[in-house]
Amino acid sequence: MSNASFNATAPSSDSIAEPEACAEQTRRTLLLGALATSACLGCSAPARAGEDPPGSDERPQKGDRLVFSEGDQEGKLITSADVPRGGPPVHAWPQDPTTSVVRSASRLNEILIIQLDPAELDEQTRARAVDGIIAYSAICSHAGCPVTAWVKSDVGDKEVFKCMCHNSEYDPRAGAQVVFGPAPRRLAALPLMLDDGSLSVAGNFVGKVGGAQPG
């Protein structure tokens, strides 16, 4: 409908008499609105539609829980029983335990979780693990691609994390050190603990997260 046709049929506001009941309702509505506004002056602003909620782009923090980042169980809490021994790794996001905000607004927060025989882990890696379960950044240190594969290494007979962009390989038993390819440094490690049977974060990332050069 054009403005012209609307104006031709709609009465002007000057010509509309406000019934007493409506006027009283309007006064009450304004009063309630003012009270609600003053009561909420101390409230934190909620996320607007289309905006990421506060905390969703912050790095994982001590006490964060871990939830599936993909698949049928996306968003569900990860327990130790959800991580298959010997791989493949589970892909996860950290989740704020207080607000339940999943920290998925930054791709640098995606995590790989894998369970291995604790006897296979080097001392430092075992110290960050819980029951042989260890976690690393899922972002390749070469050019920042996601590390997606769990395959037999090109340089040994063990399975390793592999980034398919330029074939860098990382050994999760040894702090995700680089065993093949152009990656300049290991994946950042994320210390874990168990909290009521669910996996949670025991401390900040150890090491730098993200790629050293543009892809």
CB of 147 to ligand FES, least distance (A): 7
- Measured from the CB of residue 148, what is the shortest distance to ligand FES in angstroms? 10
For residue 172, how many other CB atoms are within 10 A of its CB?
29
Nearer to ligand FES, 138 or 183 (CB): 183
Gyration radius from the chain CA atoms:
26
DSSP-assigned letter for residue 4: H
Name which of 133 and 178 has its Cβ closer to ligand FES: 178
Which run of H or of E encompasses 70? none
Q: β-pairing, 198-201 with 111-115?
A: unpaired
Helix (H, G, I), strand (E, B) or coil at 198: strand
Q: Quick check: 89 and 210 in contact, CB under 8 A?
A: no
Nearer Cβ to ligand FES, position 55 or 181?
A: 181
For ligand FES, give the closer residue by CB, 133 or 183.
183
Q: State in angstroms the smallest separation of the CB of 160 from ligand FES.
A: 13
Q: Quick one: tokens of 47?
A: 């996320």
Report which residue type is found at 93.
Answer: W
Minimum CB distance to ligand FES, residue 135 (Å): 19
Question: Closest distance between ligand FES and the C-beta of residue 90, in Å?
Answer: 20
Comparison of 66 and 209: residue with beta carbon closer to ligand FES? 209
User: Can you give the binding site for ligand FES, defined by CB under 6 A?
Assistant: 140, 142-143, 145, 163, 165-166, 168, 181-183, 211, 215
Residue 177 or 198 having the CB closest to ligand FES: 177
Q: Where are the beta strands (DSSP E) in 28-176?
A: 65-68, 90-95, 111-115, 133-137, 149-152, 159-163, 168-171
Eight-class DSSP state of 44: P
198 conformational bin, left if phi > 0, alpha if psi -120 to 50, beta if neither: beta
- Tell me the closest approach of the beta carbon of residue 209 to ligand FES, in angstroms: 14
Q: Let me know: does 114 contact 120? Beta carbons within 8 Å.
A: no
